[in-house]
Structure 1
Amino acid sequence: MWMEKTKTGYAFRETYTDPLTGKRRKVSVTMPSKSNTAKKAASERLQLMIQEKTKYQGTDMLFFDVIQAYIDSRQGFVKESTMLGYEMVWKRLHDYFPADTKADRVTPAYLQDVLDKLVQRFSYAYGKKVYTVLKSSCLLAERLRQVESADVIRRVTVPKVKQSVQAVEQEREKFLSKQELHDVLAQIRAESPAVALICEFQSRTGLRFGELAALRDEDYDGKEIYVNATLVWPRKKGDRPYRGDPKNIYSIRHVKLDKRAREILEHFQLRNKRRRLWEPTRHDKEGETYIFTTTEGGPVDLAYVNRTLRKIKCNKHLSTHIFRHTHISLLAEAGVPLKAIMQRVGHNEPTTTLAVYTHVTESMEDEAVEALEKIH
């Protein structure tokens, strides 16, 4: 410690090593006199200042340790599928960061470049997903003082790529027209009548496949279904699927069924009742009451349905989710308000709903113009 005379008194100064940069820094405190008492007080205050500034010891914290700490903190609080998503992000980031990257050496410029590349390589949605994990990780590390600041994540954004004509057209590929739905269901029916009924039920209710598979007899009252869970398929061979928490609070909803949807659901219930009465399986003996089941009585298998869909000839990519989007398109075409559609399919953010809704209403406008042309 040394002392310098100033206009307002005596400045006592001391140096310390900044743990972030390894460089020498200086702290100072001004006292009214240079007495021994003042010197002692100045020394104590300087030591407290240095302790506060050197409290951070983040140079030993690795970038991937920060992310892993956040992932570990969410164990038991989020669904297994969400945890799997976190782990996939952690693995993907290894394409862009060395394993021994120090957390406090990641600059905003470098991180922004990584996010730009992720969006260009995959999509805006994927870039947003990575950003969310990084933001949560950095903020947790800042709160726990594992890093001095989460400022790096506050200085970056997820860029939105301007949609090309091809990208816009791809949005149209996410749902089937009425005629396409009719043709696709006919092909599926030839492969598997049960799968055809399941896909048709999705197109009439807008349920996610996991929500459909999790439905039980007690969730149907003869008029509507109570959507309150999603089926989680096992990651390990030998494990059994189970009813997990819904995607979010907006996914919990009552969905009224039209006559055809009720007929499909009750067809499966009748089939299950016959099996339970005449040839009960272990699923029946254990008290399972799933509605959409396999011939063995277990909940319908997503992998089997997808394998069936891969056999179908269609100029659009078929997955179980296309029937959910098709439901949105059918409601939009019928003039159902956007908010009502969102509530029915369990959407909180209008982005996905609006994407399908907009494309359908644009087609309707084209049909309106064509109708006007025929008037003259």
Structure 2
Amino acid sequence: MSYIYKPRCKCKGKKCTCGASWAYIVDVGTDPKTGKRKQKKKSGFRTKKEAEAACAIFKNEIGQGIFVKETNVTFEEFAYEWLSIYEGMGKVKESTVRIRQHEIKRLLDYFAKLKLKDITRKQYQNAINDLKKRGYAQNTIDGAHRTGRMIFKKALELEVLKKDPTEFTYVPRQQKTIEEIEEKKEVPSYLERQELKHFLHVTKKMGLDQDYSIFLLLSYTGLRVGEMCALKWRDINMEEQTISISKTYYNPTNNRKEYKLLTPKTPTAARVIDIDDTVINELKKHQLFQKKKIMEHRDIYYDEDFVFTSTDDELPGYPYYIKKIENRMKRLLKLGGLNSLLTPHSLRHTHTSLLAEAGVSLPQIMERLGHKDESTTKNVYLHVTKEMKKEASQKFKELMENL
């Protein structure tokens, strides 16, 4: 049932001369709590025909089940409501939720107190354009837009919004010059075989306690540094010479007591890898070292079976945190006269390059590293194997010249 009328008319049944606007009222069902009928009203139409046309459109939406009652919720309110839903899905890591929080903050600069329903496509496009003008990196802009799309998509799903302002958004990208393309290095930095040998020699001679065990393990296994920090003795099978990777270390504040162990980065990151005698023997030495430290601090030692732990008097037994390992490596690189910009993750690339040099296939390397598809690993592999092919060609040439 619907009704067209002038709610503010003061003419009392006479021909209207007061200029009041027209409105419509439509029955939209029954309130489940009270049993009374629910109505939708809208006013402000200049003519009766305008009110009738709007009423007909509304009734059509009701009939097709596509009517959405937009609310006055602000972007900020709904964004954090979405984040709560997103986190509660149980499918995303805490670190990913933290990234989404940062990306929401980028969007709050533009939409925080605006009503969600009032944000237009032009406003949203201008916001994305402005992020570019402010000098944010491409990954930051892409991430903010990705989060924005998820927020507005959820608003549509929950029927608090009729149109998605992100639907036709174009993310601006910096056009690279020919010089930039030619100078771009596709292959990440890593240590060559002799450089790694030198690095480990420096580590053994000049490293602090546990340094040699840590960097030998990273170099010989290709573990992510977070996977190594989360490693427990029960994950290592000395007899079978294997390591099981089932978790990763997370501690964005570097507060040793506030660490968390999370599931691996990807499903393929959970894996079992083989290790050789060199690693086994070093781990056994390290285990003896750790047992002595446990005895020294037995009254306060935080014994949770971690392989690499703090040995100081304040918090002995807590697992090493990533920043500490990064700082330790920077010190050793400087002492060894090597590239100080390398990181523990560079040892993962180093492991890839040496496996490729040893003739291990790309699928085997990917499996060992816990990758399903990783362009960086492929770039390292292709770079190394390309150089090997060049070397083979050169050797053939030399052979023919000596005939």
Q: TM-score, with normalisation over the residues of structure 2?
A: 0.71
Q: Give the CA deviation at 1:186.
A: 3.4
**Alpha-carbon distance between aligned partners in 2 of 1:255 and 1:292, rounded to the nearest angstrom:** 19
Amino acid in structure 2 at the alignment position of 1:85: I
Amino acid in structure 2 at the alignment position of 1:329: S
* CA 27–374 in structure 1, closer or farther in 2 if over 3 Å, else same: farther
Answer yes or no: is 1:165 the counterpart of 2:185.
Answer: no
User: Does the 8 Å CA contact 1:224/1:254 hold for their aligned counterparts?
Assistant: yes
Q: Secondary structure at the match of 2:293?
A: helix
Amino acid in structure 2 at the alignment position of 1:220: I
- Which of the residues 347, 356, 360 maps onto 2:384? 360
Post-superposition CA distance 1:64-98 (Å, at most 9, x none): 44433322223353332222211222233456x35
More displaced stretch, 155-164 vs 139-148: 155-164
Amino acid in structure 1 at the alignment position of 2:189: K
Q: Which residue of 2 aligns with 1:330?
A: 354
- Which of the residues 283, 296, 304 maps onto 2:301? 283
How many residues in Structure 1 have an aligned counterpart in Structure 2?
A: 340
User: Does the 8 Å CA contact 1:177/1:326 hold for their aligned counterparts?
Assistant: yes
**Alpha-carbon distance between aligned partners in 2 of 1:263 and 1:232, rounded to the nearest angstrom:** 28
User: Does the 8 Å CA contact 1:225/1:256 hold for their aligned counterparts?
Assistant: yes
**Alpha-carbon distance between aligned partners in 1 of 2:385 and 2:352, rounded to the nearest angstrom:** 11
More displaced stretch, 235-244 vs 262-271: 235-244
User: Does the 8 Å CA contact 2:229/2:248 hold for their aligned counterparts?
Assistant: yes
Q: Which residue of 2 aligns with 1:339?
A: 363
Amino acid in structure 2 at the alignment position of 1:325: H
**Alpha-carbon distance between aligned partners in 2 of 1:187 and 1:140, rounded to the nearest angstrom:** 54
Q: Give the CA deviation at 1:126.
A: 4.3
Amino acid in structure 2 at the alignment position of 1:90: I
Output aligned runs, 1:60-99, within 5 Å. 60-76=72-88, 77=90, 78-94=92-108, 97=110, 99=112
* CA 245–366 in structure 1, closer or farther in 2 if over 3 Å, else same: same
Q: Which residue of 2 aligns with 1:181?
A: 196
Amino acid in structure 2 at the alignment position of 1:356: V
User: Does the 8 Å CA contact 2:128/2:141 hold for their aligned counterparts?
Assistant: no
Q: Secondary structure at the match of 1:152?
A: coil
Q: Give the CA deviation at 1:355.
A: 2.5
Post-superposition CA distance 1:206-233 (Å, at most 9, x none): 1111111111111111210110011222
* CA 274–236 in structure 1, closer or farther in 2 if over 3 Å, else same: closer
* CA 26–331 in structure 1, closer or farther in 2 if over 3 Å, else same: farther
Q: Which residue of 1 aligns with 2:30?
A: none
Output aligned runs, 1:29-40, within 5 Å. none
Q: Secondary structure at the match of 1:148?
A: coil
**Alpha-carbon distance between aligned partners in 2 of 1:207 and 1:70, rounded to the nearest angstrom:** 34
Q: Give the CA deviation at 1:264.
A: 2.6
**Alpha-carbon distance between aligned partners in 2 of 1:361 and 1:331, rounded to the nearest angstrom:** 10
Identity %: 26
**Larger CA Rg, structure 1 vs 2:** 2
* CA 277–256 in structure 1, closer or farther in 2 if over 3 Å, else same: same
User: Does the 8 Å CA contact 1:310/1:318 hold for their aligned counterparts?
Assistant: yes
Q: TM-score, with normalisation over the residues of structure 1?
A: 0.76
* CA 338–236 in structure 1, closer or farther in 2 if over 3 Å, else same: closer
Amino acid in structure 1 at the alignment position of 2:234: E
Post-superposition CA distance 1:220-275 (Å, at most 9, x none): 11210110011222638573323222222211111111222222322222222333
Unaligned runs of 5+ in 1: 3-13, 17-21, 30-42
User: Does the 8 Å CA contact 2:257/2:318 hold for their aligned counterparts?
Assistant: no
Output aligned runs, 1:12-161, within 5 Å. 48-49=59-60, 55-57=68-70, 60-76=72-88, 77=90, 78-94=92-108, 97=110, 99-103=112-116, 104-107=119-122, 109-110=125-126, 113=129, 121-123=136-138, 125-150=139-164, 152-153=166-167, 155-156=169-170
Q: Give the CA deviation at 1:159.
A: 5.0
Answer yes or no: is 1:219 the counterpart of 2:239.
Answer: no
**Alpha-carbon distance between aligned partners in 2 of 1:257 and 1:160, rounded to the nearest angstrom:** 44
Q: Secondary structure at the match of 2:306?
A: coil
Answer yes or no: is 1:317 the counterpart of 2:341.
Answer: yes
* CA 82–53 in structure 1, closer or farther in 2 if over 3 Å, else same: closer
Amino acid in structure 1 at the alignment position of 2:99: G
Unaligned runs of 5+ in 2: 5-21, 25-43
Amino acid in structure 2 at the alignment position of 1:303: K
**Alpha-carbon distance between aligned partners in 2 of 1:173 and 1:23, rounded to the nearest angstrom:** 64
**Alpha-carbon distance between aligned partners in 1 of 2:58 and 2:159, rounded to the nearest angstrom:** 20
User: Does the 8 Å CA contact 1:134/1:153 hold for their aligned counterparts?
Assistant: no
**Alpha-carbon distance between aligned partners in 2 of 1:161 and 1:281, rounded to the nearest angstrom:** 61
